[in-house]
Amino acid sequence: MVPPLLFVVSEEANAVNGYRFDANNWDTSVAPAVAARKGGIPAGFVLHPQDQDSFPLG
């Protein structure tokens, strides 16, 4: 649980919102922003579908 939490409270994550991160699927072998992009899924329901290119840490 610690690696995703450290990403969420970092300045790097300031532009990221509306995503859920599963610590069980977090890839600690890559940079936190890369792991977030790979493992982040939209939280709640999706009003307007987004593709991975809309993830702000592209």
Q: What is the pLDDT of residues 25-53, one digit of tens each?
A: 999 999 999 999 998 888 887 666 666 66
At 41 the pLDDT is 87
At 52 the pLDDT is 60
At 7 the pLDDT is 93
Q: What is the mean pLDDT of the chain?
A: 84
- Give the count of domains, the chain: 1
Separation between Cα atoms, residue 31 and residue 47, nearest integer Å:
30
Of residues 39 and 56, more confidence is placed in 39
Q: Which residue range forms the structural domain that includes residue 44?
A: 2-54
Burial letters 16-25, b for 16+ CB under 10 A, else e = beebebeeee
